[in-house]
Each structure stands twice: as C-alpha cells, then as structure tokens.
Amino acid sequence: MFEARLLNGSLWKKIIESIKDVVEDANWECSGSGISLQGMDSSHVALVSLHLKSDAFDPYRCDRNISLGLSSTNLSKILKCSSNDDSVIIRTSEASDNVSFIFESSNSEKVSQFDLKLMNIDSEHLGIPDMEYDSIVKMPSNEFQRICRDLSLLGESVQIACTKDGVQFTSSGSIGSGKISLRPNITAENLDDTVNIELNEAVLLTFALRYLNFFTKATSLAPRVILSFKTEHPLVVEYQIQDIGYLKFYLAPKIEDDDTKQTTTPD
Amino acid sequence: MCGRCVIMRDGGAIRRRCAHYPYKSSCTADTASDSSHCLPRWYQEGESSYQPSYNVCPRDNLPVLLSSDHPHACDGEGPEDRILQMMQWGLVPSWHKGAAKDFAYLLNNCRSESLFDKASFRNAFTRGHRCVVPVDGFYEWKLIAGKKYPQYIQSVDNDSMLMLAGIFDIHRQTPDSNPLYTVTLITTEAHPVFSEVHHRMPAVLQGAQQVADWLDFRRVTDKQAYSIIIPTTGLTWYAVGNSVNNVYYKGEDCVLPRKAEPVKEKSKGITLDTFFKKTPVKRKLEDSRTLKRVKDESKNES
C-alpha cells in the first residue's frame, strides 16, 4: 500500500510542468524517505533529479518500496483536472496496475478520482558523483529565467563565465550577439533578490539554451536558483522546493573542438 | 594508382629533359646543351598539339618518349633514336574491335603484376611497346579520417622530371583507318616510404640507364625490362587544394600547397553518459504485455 497526500496540490502541477519537457516517461520511486524521480531526456543531454521528503506529505504511508512508471504528459493531463487549492492524494497498492489521483477541494465538498494505468519503463539509474564545484551562483530564479529567455532570441547556446567580478552570460547568432553581466549583490533589501557567487576557480562553459529554457519552467517552484559550475562538467540548476525537497537539473556542457569541415571529391 | 599528372614544361623543355646518350651512330648531339647528349625528335605534329597542363587526366593526350625503332616511328624524318609522341592516356588494345570510344575499360594504369597475365597489357608488352611518360609530378589522393585529400608528388630534385614507365598500343578501327596511339602507366606496390600516401605508386625509372633499357625493346628482353619495375624512392609530396578534383580544371593553382583551412570553432554536444555511471533498473510487472499496449496507446493519443 502506498498513499501520500499533499495539501498544496498545485505543487504537483508545477513540478510536472517543470519536468515534462525533459523527461517523457519516468519511474517515480516511492520509499520510506519520500518520493524521488530521476530521468534523462532522449538525447541524454539533460537529467532531472527530484526528491520530495516524506515529511511533505500528510499522511505518508509506504509499506514497501514501489516504483510507479508514469508518462509525464499523461500525468500533466490528469493534474490539470485539479484546482490549485485542492489537496492531492496519490494512492496505489503493490498488486495494482493503476495509480489513483484523488483531488479534494479545500472545503471537502468535491472529491475527484482519476486512475492512471502504470507503465513498464526500462530505465537506467545514473550515479551522480559528489563533487566540489568551481563556482556556485545563487540568484533570483526569475532573473535566470529572463536571461535564458532573452538570450535564446539571439543564439542556440549561452556561454557562461564566472569570475570574481561576476557572472556573464553571452550568446551570439546570425542576427547579432548579447551579453548580460551580473555583479555579486548582497545588499539587496530582499534576500531573494541577491546574487551570490562562491568562486573557487573561474569557469567558462557553454550550454544549450533550449534546455535551460525547459529548466526555468521550475521558476515558480522556488524564488532562488542555484547554478553550480565545474569546468568540463555538467551544470547543475537547482531549485529548493520550500523545505520539503529539491528539483535539480543537470545539463551536459558543449565542448568546443577544432574539428574542421573539409570537402574533397574522391579520386 | 596514378590517375592525374602534371606536365607543365613547354615542348622544348621536355625534349631537353629527355636528352640522352646516343646509341645510334647516326644520332648527332647537335642541339643538346651537353654536347655529348642528343635530343628526341617530336613525332609528326606532336609539338604543336602538345599543351602543358597542371591536371592531365585519363583520355587527355600526353607526350610519350619511345624508341624510334618502332616501325611506325621510322618515318625517315630524322636520325634520332628516340621520339616524343602525343598519345591518349588510357590504353585501347589493338585487338579491340570497333571504335576506340566503345572500349569499355579505362586502362590508365597497368599493375606490374599483371603485365604478363592480362591480355590488354600482355600483347603490347610482349611486342616491345614500352615507353616512358616524362611528367613533372603526379597527384595521389591520401585517405585521412575517411576523406580523400589530394597530394602532389614530385621528384626530390625539384627541377627534374619523373620518368614513368608505360606501355602503349596502336588501335585501328579498320585496317585503313588512322591509328590511335594510347598509353598506360605501370604501377607497383608502394615503396614503404610512399605507402603513407597510397598503397600503389607509378613505376618511376631511375636514371638514364633504366630509361634506356626500358625503351630499348630490341636489345633488352621483356623479362629484363620487367625487372627494372620496382618501387622507388626519391619522391617528395605535399597536400594541394581541391581544384585538382575537377578534371576540366587545368590551372596552375592545382599544384599550390593546400591553404590551411580556417579553424571553425564548432561546439560538440556531449551527453551526460560521459559523466555519470549507469545502473540498470528494470521494473517487472506481472502483465507486461497489457502495460506495453497501454503505453503504446497513450503515445498514440499524445
């Protein structure tokens, strides 16, 4: 038996909307510690790692570890049937092929139940090593979303440079180029508006804006975003979901190479 | 193989480069720069039809050096023991019946190993139709990472011509029609030094004596001549541009060294599999067939 009730049901909607562009089908791993999900996009460039603590749910009952194979698209369709102030109960049993989503209105006058058929999804769990990052930037999540959106008007990739002076986002394409610089700002009135840079070493990395724009759909989940950089390693874009969990995105860097394109006609 | 070559000198220069010690008493050394040498004579209208080219291709005409003892060359026009004659590159055997253009094979090269085996070459070779094609250099395509890049190969001695061993044949469509002279270049296994460019190379005759022996079909037997054909060194090469790929392009820039191509900064996408280790996880459900169907259906809907 598995049952988890989340009072703030709209959180589910936000989470699913944040990940569904990256991960189509994924196994939701339910255990005593909470609900986790890990999945990669089809091209293996981006990875989603989500964890929601069991404390986030009331009640939370997980008799045995269970894996729920679900399509993000179908899950999104079902969750759109809930109202923002509904509480959401997820319920299934080990013998069942279905998982039930029960939406309860805040005044308990309306209860809706949707059953989704479970899928058998072959997945590979990736071991993500702990590492020390060269640079960690903490900034307002909406600012990061804006930067990614604006620069994607110019090019497909963004070059991110972290130095002691700040962080610089650069993109260029056929119509021109753009450069957005943020200086560390720890004096802002609102703590959420500050830009903190922890710098061990300066980094210069390039990433696909297409994926960053997918990731920033999670902006509504957290006021702050944490960007962790390490030279020639994936970028981590992390959103802390209140104090109940996190949503992390990993994005492989684009490596510059000097492969030249040469054309010859064979003899 | 050898499918393109360069003959950039004018007719007079080729004659001078083909100067040799006379072996006929009648051949005088009147016009040679070195008074002890004599120069070959251009056969018939050969010199006027000759055009220098930086990209000589099969089916083009090229100057060929041969002994004037060949019956067709004994036209009584001069006492020289060698002639330079324009011939079409690509052997058309004498036994071919019909028009030369209908000969289905392009025999611009002849493997030395098959000189005695293949009828196309054996007939010409055993009748002593040996000749030399003097070239300034030739092209070979070097395979680098799955792509072919043209290389220009010349003698280490910049000013000298390469004397390539060949065989020629004479084809007549009908007994009364004009003869067509065609030539093929003999190739050998590449010398180990050259093998970095290609596994075959043209047979380059080294020195005046080898040229003389190869051409002197009356004195030097087929087998003796055959022993001359060995892989040789003394070549140098460099990459050239792609203009040589076009058979119709004969310009001087064919032999210019290939320009370093601008390095294009290209972003190479790499995947997360490079960074994270995989652990396969497979979820077993009792009726996977049903569930797979469900998955397929849901995909169709979306």
Inspect the interface and report whether the beta carbons of B242 and A256 lie closer than 8 Å: no
Longest dimension (CA), chain B: 103
Decide if B88 contacts B61 (C-beta within 8 A): yes
Scanning every residue of chain B, which has its alpha carbon at the shortest distance from the alpha carbon of A125? B279
Please tell me the predicted confidence (pLDDT) of residue A237.
Answer: 97
Of B3, B269, B295, the CB nearest to A119: B295
Q: How far apart are CA B100 and CA B181, in angstroms?
A: 10
Inspect the interface and report whether the beta carbons of B268 and A254 lie closer than 8 Å: yes
Please tell me the predicted confidence (pLDDT) of residue B84.
Answer: 92
Q: How far apart are CA A195 and CA A89, in angstroms?
A: 37
Query: Are residues B169 and B218 both part of a single domain?
Result: yes
Q: Which helix (H) or strand (E) segment is B2 a member of?
A: none
Query: Are residues B276 and B133 both part of a single domain?
Result: no
Which pair of structure tokens corresponds to residue B98? 């019909």
Which B positions 225-264 lie with beta carbon below 8 A of chain A? 242, 245-246, 261-264
User: Based on the structure, what is the number of domains in chain A?
Assistant: 2
Residue segments in chain B with a per-residue pLDDT below the cut of 70:
1, 22-36, 75-80, 145, 260-269, 279-302
Residue where the block lists tokens 């957005």: A180
Please tell me the predicted confidence (pLDDT) of residue A115.
Answer: 94
Query: Are residues A37 and A107 both part of a single domain?
Result: yes
Q: How far apart are CA B104 and CA B107, in angstroms?
A: 9
Q: How many helices (H) and strands (E) in chain B?
A: 6, 16
Query: Are residues A150 and A212 both part of a single domain?
Result: yes
| Percent of chain A as helix, strand, coil, to the nearest 5 | 20, 45, 35
Q: What is the mean pLDDT of each run of 10 residues along chain A (267 residues)?
A: 92 94 92 94 91 93 92 93 93 90 91 92 83 94 96 93 93 91 83 89 94 96 95 94 94 68 34
Residue B114: what are its φ and ψ, rounded to 5°? -110, 15
Question: Does residue A62 lie within any of the structural domains?
Answer: yes
Query: Are residues A141 and A113 both part of a single domain?
Result: no
Nearest Cα of chain B lies from the Cα of A36 at a distance, in angstroms, of 14
Query: Are residues B287 and B147 both part of a single domain?
Result: no
CB pairs under 8 A between A and B: 143
Angle at alpha carbon of residue B125, lines to B124 and B131, rounded to 5°:
90
Q: How far apart are CA B9 and CA A106, in angstroms?
A: 97
Q: Residue B56, SS3?
A: strand
Parallel, antiparallel, or unpaired: how do β-strands A203-208 and A196-199 relate?
unpaired
Q: In whole numbers, what is the pLDDT of chain B averaged over residues?
A: 83
Q: Which domain holds residue A57?
A: 2-117
Query: Are residues B203 and B288 both part of a single domain?
Result: no
Query: Are residues B77 and B198 both part of a single domain?
Result: yes
Q: Which domain holds residue B277?
A: 272-301
CATH code of residue A111:
3.70.10.10
User: Based on the structure, what is the number of domains in chain B?
Assistant: 2
Please tell me the predicted confidence (pLDDT) of residue B24.
Answer: 57
Query: Are residues B161 and B278 both part of a single domain?
Result: no
B272–A contact, CB cutoff 8 A: yes
Distances (CA, A) of A144 to A138, A152, A202, B265, B280: 10, 12, 19, 27, 34
Query: Are residues A24 and A71 both part of a single domain?
Result: yes
Q: How far apart are CA A224 and CA A193, in angstroms?
A: 8
B150–A contact, CB cutoff 8 A: yes
Query: Are residues B249 and B278 both part of a single domain?
Result: no
Please tell me the predicted confidence (pLDDT) of residue A49.
Answer: 95
Question: Does residue A122 lie within any of the structural domains?
Answer: no
Inspect the interface and report whether the beta carbons of A260 and B264 lie closer than 8 Å: yes
Which pair of structure tokens corresponds to residue A178? 């753009």
B300–A contact, CB cutoff 8 A: no
Question: Does residue A258 lie within any of the structural domains?
Answer: no
Please tell me the predicted confidence (pLDDT) of residue B261.
Answer: 56
Q: Residue B229, SS3?
A: coil
Q: How far apart are CA A182 and CA B22, in angstroms?
A: 87
B58–A contact, CB cutoff 8 A: no
Please tell me the predicted confidence (pLDDT) of residue B62.
Answer: 94
Inspect the interface and report whether the beta carbons of B271 and A45 lie closer than 8 Å: yes
Query: Are residues B151 and B278 both part of a single domain?
Result: no
Decide if A200 contacts B241 (C-beta within 8 A): no
Query: Are residues A244 and A149 both part of a single domain?
Result: yes
Burial of B104 (0-12, 13-18, 19+ CB in 10 A): exposed
Give the global pTM.
Answer: 0.52
ipTM above 0.85, yes or no: no
Question: Does residue B297 lie within any of the structural domains?
Answer: yes
Inspect the interface and report whether the beta carbons of B272 and A258 lie closer than 8 Å: no
Query: Are residues B149 and B230 both part of a single domain?
Result: yes
Closest C-alpha to B108, from B186, B17, B184, B202:
B184
Query: Are residues B290 and B182 both part of a single domain?
Result: no
Please tell me the predicted confidence (pLDDT) of residue B159.
Answer: 79
Nearest Cα of chain B lies from the Cα of A188 at a distance, in angstroms, of 36
Query: Are residues A139 and A247 both part of a single domain?
Result: yes
Query: Are residues B112 and B220 both part of a single domain?
Result: yes
AA identity, residue A14: K
Total Cβ atoms within 10 A of residue A114: 17
Query: Are residues A106 and A167 both part of a single domain?
Result: no
B199–A contact, CB cutoff 8 A: no
Question: Does residue B265 lie within any of the structural domains?
Answer: no
Of A119, A206, A260, the CB nearest to B263: A260
Query: Are residues A155 and A239 both part of a single domain?
Result: yes
